Structure 1
Amino acid sequence: MKHSEKSRGGRPWSFDREKAVETAMRLFWRSGYEGVSVGELTKAIGIAPPSLYAAFGSKAGLYREALDLYEEKFASLDLDLVEKAASLAQAVRALLEGAVRAVTDPDREGGCMISSGMTACHSEHGALARNAAARRDAMRERIAKTLAPFVTDGQTLPLERYLSAVLQGISVQARDGATQAELQEIVENVVLGVGAS
């Protein structure tokens, strides 16, 4: 266990904080924010509720840290392959195929924690929902910036929104159990449409 970080009271944590965030991330990724109770979190992490609140401030604070960790480890789109593409259709294929591999990876939870996260929630969690939406907007902006060299002025905005919607749909279908081969059919149809435009 790590004892280097200290609690707000100055005492060392009696648990591995990084591992706690990783555990919480997996739970939230699998079941959503509202689908995971404080009791489930503390049991999985191996701490008492007061320790969770002392370390993270609240369940919401832990969720934000879990999202940060997810973005750092899992949410990066494979934009290097996109940038190396020779055409818009190839760039879109690289983007979508990378996403399909990510959301169907057997070593991960199904779907994308950001694409699927907090799309519907109780009104008291509005701040978390807005944070998740801002993260999705940032992803859409990264897509637009990466695809900009492949499109003429004015085409980027509709395309980035369309591809963001496709990525969210792929995430939801992966959570519902769609296979990589089934999701690849979506990729083929989208690429066909982009190539024809």
Structure 2
Amino acid sequence: MDKPRQRRSSGPRTFDRDEAVEIAMRLFRRYGYEGVSIADLTGAIGIAPPSLYAAFGSKAGLYREALDRYAALPGALEGMAGAETLEEAVSGLLEAAIRSVVTDERGCMISTGLVEGAPAQQDLARELRTRRQGLRGRIAAALRRWLSVEDADRLAAYLLAVQQGIAVQARDGADEAELLHIRDEVMIGVAVRHRSPAA
């Protein structure tokens, strides 16, 4: 799909910063950091490059604001809320992850937005790695209700890898039914390996 572009009117134009970050988030989510150019951003937002630099400092600055907005959206961890068993928690986590990537943007800024980058983007790549590690830690903390610390950490690492794979599959065009099959296969393994006691 072609990236959306908006014709700019002549003369200076004020813009809504919140709307600009929302537009940027949608572009970055769909195409990744390196897949979105300054021209794409200014065209979609409807401003000139100097206005973008004045407001956000750089493309990376706008990306960070878009990333913060994305991180505030309902995510996979919300799917674990209210779970009474390990199986419910894992299933809820993966179902929420699937719902979050079968949108029009079909991507995850944290999982696939910038895995590797040019030397100039290493700070941003490190920031995303830190966010992924933080997500893994939060998943592990939630799983400790049913598992030992060691087992929770191992399962969290596995589930994060599955989430990243789901995001890539969605970007490649997998639909919700296909992604739910992945969830089902994971659940078989969880049921075999882990027997959670009644809460």
Q: Please give the range of the TM-score, normalised by the shorter of the 2 chains.
A: 0.7 to 0.9
SS at match of 1:132: helix
The 5-angstrom pairing of residues 178-197 of structure 1 reads 178-197=174-193
SS at match of 2:107: coil
For residue 85 of structure 1, report the CA deviation from its aligned partner: 2.1
CA 40–111 in structure 1, closer or farther in 2 if over 3 Å, else same: closer
For residue 89 of structure 1, report the CA deviation from its aligned partner: 1.6
The answer to whether the 8 Å contact 2:76/2:94 transfers is no
For residue 99 of structure 1, report the CA deviation from its aligned partner: 1.0
1:8 paired residue number: none
How many residues end up aligned between the 2 structures? 181
The answer to whether the 8 Å contact 2:112/2:167 transfers is yes
2:148 paired residue number: 152
The 5-angstrom pairing of residues 45-84 of structure 1 reads 45-74=45-74, 76-79=75-78, 81-84=79-82
For residue 40 of structure 1, report the CA deviation from its aligned partner: 1.3
2:159 paired residue number: 163
CA 157–177 in structure 1, closer or farther in 2 if over 3 Å, else same: same
For residue 78 of structure 1, report the CA deviation from its aligned partner: 4.3
CA 88–77 in structure 1, closer or farther in 2 if over 3 Å, else same: same
Give the letter aligned to residue 130 of structure 1: R
Query: Aligned partners of 1:135 and 1:37: how far apart in 2?
Result: 23
For residue 124 of structure 1, report the CA deviation from its aligned partner: 1.5
TM-score by length of 1: 0.87
For residue 148 of structure 1, report the CA deviation from its aligned partner: 1.1
Query: Aligned partners of 2:180 and 2:73: how far apart in 1?
Result: 23
Query: Aligned partners of 1:153 and 1:143: how far apart in 2?
Result: 11
CA-to-partner distance for each residue in 1:139-185, whole Å, 9 max, x for gaps?
A: 11111111110112321111110000000000100111111111111
The answer to whether the 8 Å contact 2:42/2:52 transfers is yes
2:196 paired residue number: none
Query: Aligned partners of 2:100 and 2:149: how far apart in 1?
Result: 30
Give the letter aligned to residue 57 of structure 2: G
For residue 77 of structure 1, report the CA deviation from its aligned partner: 2.3
The answer to whether the 8 Å contact 1:116/1:168 transfers is yes
CA RMSD after TM alignment? 1.4
For residue 53 of structure 1, report the CA deviation from its aligned partner: 0.7
Query: Aligned partners of 1:184 and 1:175: how far apart in 2?
Result: 15
The answer to whether the 8 Å contact 2:77/2:139 transfers is no
Provide structure 1 residue ranges, at least 5 long, that are not aligned to the other structure: 1-12
Q: How many percent identity over aligned positions?
A: 52
The 5-angstrom pairing of residues 4-153 of structure 1 reads 14-74=14-74, 76-79=75-78, 81-105=79-103, 108-153=104-149
Provide structure 2 residue ranges, at least 5 long, that are not aligned to the other structure: 1-12, 194-199
2:197 paired residue number: none
Query: Aligned partners of 1:111 and 1:17: how far apart in 2?
Result: 23
Query: Aligned partners of 1:27 and 1:154: how far apart in 2?
Result: 38
